Structure 1
Amino acid sequence: MEKTDFDAIVVGSGPNGLAAAIALQEVGLSVLLLEAKDTIGGGLRTKELTLPGFQHDVCSAIHPLAARSPYFQTLPLADHGLEYIYPEVAAAHPFDNGTAAALTQSLTQTAQSLGKDEKAYLKLIKGLVQDWPQLANTVLGPLQFPKNPVAMAQFGLKAMAPATTLANLYFSTPEARGLWAGMAAHSIQPLTRMTTSAIGLVLMAQAHLHGWPLPKGGSQSIANALASYFTSLGGKIETNFEVKSLAQLPSSKAVLFDMTPKQLLQIAGHTFSSVYKWQLERYQYGLGVFKIDWALSGPIPFTAPECRKAGTVHLGNTLEEITAAEQMTWDGKHPEKPFVLLAQQSVFDAFRAPKGQHTAWAYCHVPHGSTVDMTAAIENQVERYAPGFKDLILARHTMNTHQIEAYNPNYIGGDINGGVINLSQLFTRPALRSSPYRTSVKGLYLCSSSTPPGGGVHGMCGYYAADRALRDIFNLKAKPLP
């Protein structure tokens, strides 16, 4: 094989880029990881965005899939400084009457708290919790024949359904229906669309299996641990290296891109076949987000005690209200009462704020590319369930979709999922091919969340892309998953 500067180059140091680089380096290749910014991490960065001493997660914050990712579990990340904190309540969902539904690690406790819907909740989720160890590698991977076809079929029938359909089939109480709506809304689509149940089911199962942890010290801690392990294996990282053309890269046998189709086309589109280029140009991006970080003088005074114990709080009241808000957003409007996803990391991690003070992190969905300021709408939603919240605000930092994309070019139009995860892009993102990670040019691969299984901090897109490159180019295989 021809001598090159590196065996492989990975462009982009988000969780998938880091995972791909590690998977390649672990089997003895020489790997260079390039990052355009001055720090590694992509969506895994923590900064003082508001006031000195207040550490805010710039993008991702709570990580249901990271701690138990099939690939990350194989890595000695604890030895490289990564520690997870597990809130007592994974996620809480408050209502206007001052009560809240709570998703905890205990399946029994969660089900019992839903009253008349106890049996229905168990019927919906218990089987998935029991089967998840056999399903994880299949669900969090490219389209493949499952190890347990029966369990996968049972999951698939529910996962493919619209979230509103499952809600009507299973739940009668506002508590269960609201809790479910908040979970399914992570799909960032109208809840009446097919496949919106998939993410809700997976997130609920993760809570019962392992909780929804947050990394001690901030999301940057995950990136730092991954980078530390990568360099301990001999890998090389270069920051402040923005790749705009293939000609900039040192010589290598394989290049893996942790970016979306839009950037890939700009860099290498001229080398692609007309069919592959056409497919990438048709790739669909989804809704954006408007995000706020707050420096607070005290903890958020939620009325419902369950919310004060939760790492994540979903603000949107009933299924019907959340469904309406998400549909309005999809239709290009900005709801007065948006569905808000909120995290309160400093309640559990003292590193995040000066003693006695706190941080909070929240976002709502907005139309793709929106520049509308949603600060008042989001803060009104928090105040709705935590009277007195606004009085605690010391400072805030906001990001609209343009600012989010400028910060991380993978977030096209503010889309944090790397593209819509709808029926046509669930397993075949970004194009219908024998392998979604291959481009039409030998040696060039895509390893971002624009490939299966999509968004989230789990590294599985990077792992599977690296495995594909190893098999194609080097006649090797990535380290097997458990």
Structure 2
Amino acid sequence: MTLLDAVVVGSGPNGLAAAVTLARAGLGVQVLEAEPTVGGGARTVAIPELADGMLFDLCSAVHPMAWASPFFRAFDLPAHGVELIAPDIAYAQPLDGDRAGLAYRDLARTADGLGVDGDAWCDLLGPLASDWRQVTALAMGDKRTPRGMLDGLGGPGEHALTASNLGSMVRPGLRFGAALLEQGGPRWDRRFLTDEAKALLTGVAAHNITPLPSLAGAGTALLLAALAHADGGWAIPLGGSQAITNAMVRDLEAHGGEVRTGRRVESWSDLPPARAVLFDTTPSTLLRIAGDRIRPSRRAALGRFRYGNAAAKVDFVLDGPVPWRVPDVGRASTVHVGGTRAEMVIAEDTVAHGLHADRPVVLVSDPGVADVSRLRGSTRPLWAYAHVPAGSTEDVTEPVTRQIERFAPGFRDVVVGSRCIPAAGLERHNQNYPGGDISAGAATMWQMVARPTLAPDPYQIAEGVYLCSASTPPGPGVHGMGGWHAARRALLREFDVRHAPGLAAG
């Protein structure tokens, strides 16, 4: 049997980023995917029982990192034929009483809408939006080395490790750190006076599915909220998330790599011989397949990796747009439905205690707002996640419908079909979501740094064995950086390739 240079297990964004990097270095690469379709958390599929000819994003739907991630900036998705569309209103937070917080791409317009909190919003997020490259580099680094931080400034491998380059990170880093401490701790309520501003930022922090306030939630909120006011906004790929995946697969194949679907790997014997194996999987899957190749102390540390609470997914088919009480909410392709900051704190705390919230935090994506190709006549898809306890088997269609109806009276009347995937069922579509944990590991501040362990190298697990999933730094999201960081280490240690290949199209 032919010895491959590298095998990648899993075809999510990180696995494909690793495969693309290795193939561009001239290596023979094969990607093995258990599911019949490629993409992991970036797949767009048909659901014939809901609507003929309509496409639904199975997991992720909105992608600020598709333009801001250092990997994707270097890869350049538009040059690979992916059109990224950002609506004027990145995200919205409806409230009772005909009110809503609206995060426009235009920072000044957002501030105008927040009234007395406008200056405070600009003071917090304006500098971070201006320094989005440095802020993103800090967030997307390997959480271990200065080199891993600098790789985020322009694109992987573009910046030398110099005092000047490191110095350029100091002021944005200090500013981000101060904002993190403020918004992640007991002082988080002191900056804003209005429900709109408080809820608008909290809705983004709630993406982490953790009790609030938290440092991890604040980090997510500050990064994503800043990107909403930066160059590319909260982008929707034309045609759905699959467009990102397909562009990466095309590039991989153009450089001699291949993807094989329907190839579930249950043990090491299921792998073709290769000099390096990179796992775009959770640590538990890695241990099941390659545990006997990992030294006992590292096995034990990986076994202590914690998984978090979950999301349950509801796909709707609507006959017309959502009838939001505040019409401008309907101009945002992302809506955080959870009410006030206080209500969201209660809901997330309830989930953290293993219970279902009466009024759960719900993330809603309406891709047709930005991408009219997703519409089918008067009908359109609507994507919704509700936060629930890990392993929940509950059908959340009714509580999700109730929450949306609360801010969009008449929503039930435009629903012509729906399908729920309970949290426990998400793992059947993507093994990296154990119990419905869409972050592939609890998104606490500790685990965002010590991910998957505190080892100096979070990616190389054993000789020739690497972990490259969202369970490694920088964590969850469609950004490709976990795969790129892991591939770079594999190139150096297994193949003595000291300079990472360029990623630009052409």
Superposed pair shares fold, TM > 0.5: yes
Instruction: For residue 195 of structure 1, report the CA deviation from its aligned partner.
Output: 2.6
2:153 corresponding residue in structure 1: none
Paired with 1:314 and 1:371, the residues of 2 have a C-alpha distance of 23
Paired with 1:137 and 1:465, the residues of 2 have a C-alpha distance of 16
1:321 paired to 2:343: yes
Contact 2:14 2:468 in 1 (8 A): yes
Paired with 1:375 and 1:66, the residues of 2 have a C-alpha distance of 29
2:219 corresponding residue in structure 1: 198
Contact 2:65 2:72 in 1 (8 A): no
Task: Return closer, same or farther for 1:188/1:166 CA change in 2, 3 Å cut-off.
Answer: farther
| One-letter amino acid of the counterpart of residue 24, structure 2 | E
1:33 paired to 2:31: yes
Provide, for residues 164-189 of structure 1, a one-character-per-residue CA deviation record: whole Å limited to 9, x for no partner: 63531311111100101101111210
SS in 1 for 2:460: coil
2:125 corresponding residue in structure 1: 125
SS in 1 for 2:420: strand
Task: Return closer, same or farther for 1:244/1:31 CA change in 2, 3 Å cut-off.
Answer: same
1:450 corresponding residue in structure 2: 471
1:405 corresponding residue in structure 2: 427
Provide, for residues 281-310 of structure 1, a one-character-per-residue CA deviation record: whole Å limited to 9, x for no partner: 110100111110011111111111221100
Instruction: For residue 22 of structure 1, report the CA deviation from its aligned partner.
Output: 0.5
Q: How does 1:30-429 map to 2 (within 5 A)?
A: 30-49=28-47, 50-143=50-143, 144-145=145-146, 147=166, 148-160=169-181, 163=184, 165=186, 167-209=188-230, 210-429=232-451
Contact 2:43 2:59 in 1 (8 A): yes
Contact 1:426 1:453 in 2 (8 A): yes
Provide, for residues 48-101 of structure 1, a one-character-per-residue CA deviation record: whole Å limited to 9, x for no partner: 222112211111111111122211122243344311121121001111111211
SS in 2 for 1:254: strand
Paired with 2:181 and 2:66, the residues of 1 have a C-alpha distance of 23
Provide, for residues 380-417 of structure 1, a one-character-per-residue CA deviation record: whole Å limited to 9, x for no partner: 01101111110111110110112101110100110001
2:157 corresponding residue in structure 1: none
Contact 1:161 1:194 in 2 (8 A): no
1:9 corresponding residue in structure 2: 7
| One-letter amino acid of the counterpart of residue 283, structure 2 | P
2:493 corresponding residue in structure 1: 472
Contact 1:166 1:197 in 2 (8 A): no
SS in 1 for 2:122: helix
Instruction: For residue 481 of structure 1, report the CA deviation from its aligned partner.
Output: 8.6
Contact 2:185 2:215 in 1 (8 A): no
Paired with 2:119 and 2:60, the residues of 1 have a C-alpha distance of 33
Paired with 2:77 and 2:105, the residues of 1 have a C-alpha distance of 23
SS in 2 for 1:23: helix
Paired with 1:34 and 1:388, the residues of 2 have a C-alpha distance of 45
Deviates more, 1:382-391 or 1:153-162: 153-162
1:432 paired to 2:432: no
SS in 2 for 1:71: helix
Count of residues in Structure 1 that have an aligned counterpart in Structure 2:
479
| One-letter amino acid of the counterpart of residue 473, structure 1 | E
RMSD: 1.7
Paired with 1:54 and 1:244, the residues of 2 have a C-alpha distance of 33
2:163 corresponding residue in structure 1: none
Contact 1:295 1:360 in 2 (8 A): yes
Contact 2:283 2:302 in 1 (8 A): yes
Paired with 2:185 and 2:365, the residues of 1 have a C-alpha distance of 25
| One-letter amino acid of the counterpart of residue 46, structure 1 | T
| One-letter amino acid of the counterpart of residue 84, structure 2 | Y
Contact 1:245 1:268 in 2 (8 A): yes
Deviates more, 1:469-478 or 1:455-464: 469-478
Deviates more, 1:154-163 or 1:263-272: 154-163
Deviates more, 1:114-123 or 1:67-76: 67-76
Paired with 2:135 and 2:311, the residues of 1 have a C-alpha distance of 30
Contact 1:347 1:358 in 2 (8 A): no
Q: Structure 2: which 5+ runs fail to align? A: 150-165
Deviates more, 1:163-172 or 1:315-324: 163-172
Provide, for residues 106-138 of structure 1, a one-character-per-residue CA deviation record: whole Å limited to 9, x for no partner: 111112211111121122112211222223223
Contact 1:70 1:481 in 2 (8 A): no
Paired with 1:381 and 1:163, the residues of 2 have a C-alpha distance of 26
Contact 2:362 2:386 in 1 (8 A): yes
Instruction: For residue 4 of structure 1, report the CA deviation from its aligned partner.
Output: 5.7
Paired with 1:48 and 1:253, the residues of 2 have a C-alpha distance of 37
SS in 1 for 2:67: coil
Deviates more, 1:72-81 or 1:82-91: 72-81
Task: Return closer, same or farther for 1:92/1:127 CA change in 2, 3 Å cut-off.
Answer: same
Paired with 2:212 and 2:494, the residues of 1 have a C-alpha distance of 42
Q: Structure 1: which 5+ runs fail to align? A: none
